[in-house]
Chain A
């Protein structure tokens, strides 16, 4: 049982380049999330998808876009990468409803030069 799978695991970009981070879950969860983790900041929500076909902004959405491709897959796109977007990005999924535990992937470590 893979759980939540994120690709790639590492990526280095130049300022202005674009890329898409992929996330897939095999737990039949309705809700999916993208976070960024920076030292001393905990996890900050970028975008989330409560269910297939819906997406909403989180705390720090600027510079990002998302696509909920189907129930399994939720991608995060950086259209024009900036050094401030250097971070570790985590995808998570959960069942429907408040207080459900979130299951996380192992992260994508992204450096923007």
Chain B
């Protein structure tokens, strides 16, 4: 059973398009993290959202945590080929120490 469902799993778009990746759960998380992974490397943290309804921006990337802290989204404006990679959401639950639950990932390809 996947506690965090990411969609879509694959996304291929042209440079300049906008896109949104979703991360959904029926469970409440104390915080949610987004990572980006390039081929042959480990995931690298992009952002952590903690408060329900929180919105964080990182250049052309906008991250939102749902009001009920059960879901999150990542929106990329005017995607660039350098945005290509695997995007992973990961949730932290109370009283679970540092453990994270990862979604399946969204593989994004941005073509020039």
Residues of A that sit less than 8 Å from B by CB:
4, 31, 33, 35, 40-45, 48, 50, 58, 90, 92, 94-107
Provide the bound-state CA to CA distance between A102 and B101, in Å: 12
> What distance in Å separates the Cβ of A97 from its nearest Cβ neighbour in chain B?
7
A43 contacts B50, C-beta separation under 8 Å: no
A33 to chain B, nearest CB (A): 8
B79 within 8 Å of A (CB atoms): no
A48 to B41, CA, bound (A): 20
> Total number of A-B contacts with CB less than 8 angstroms?
77
C-alpha gap A105/B9 in the complex (Å): 24
Bound: A4/B92 CA distance, A? 21
**Contact residues in B for A105 (Cβ distance below 8 Å):** 42
The A-contacting residues of B in range 81-100, CB under 8 angstroms, are 88, 90, 92-100
> Do B98 and A44 touch across chains, with their CB atoms under 8 A apart?
no
B102 adjacent to A106 (CB under 8 Å): no
Given known contacts A98-B31, A101-B48, A50 and B97 CB-to-CB distance under 8 angstroms: yes
Is there contact, CB below 8 Å, between B99 and A48? Answer: yes
Give the total of B residues in contact with A, Cβ under 8 Å.
30
Q: How far apart sit A29 and B98, CA to CA, in the bound complex (Å)? A: 11
Q: When the two chains form the complex, which single residue of A4, A98, A106 contacts B96, counting CB atoms closer than 8 Å?
A: A98
Is B33 part of the contact surface with A, judged by Cβ < 8 Å?
Answer: yes
Contact A90 B103 (CB under 8 A): no
Verify B104–A102 contact, CB threshold 8 A: no
When the two chains form their complex, are residues A102 and B103 in contact, meaning their CB atoms are under 8 A apart? no
A32 → chain B closest CB, angstroms: 9
Check A96/B98 contact, CB under 8 A, given A41-B104, A42-B104: yes
| A35–B93 CA distance with the chains assembled, in angstroms | 18
Q: Determine if B33 and A101 form an interchain contact, defined as CB atoms under 8 angstroms apart.
A: yes
Chain B nearest CB, measured from A28 CB (Å):
14
Most buried by B among A33, A42, A100, A107: A42
**Taking the nearest CB of chain A, how far is it from the CB of B24, in angstroms?**
14
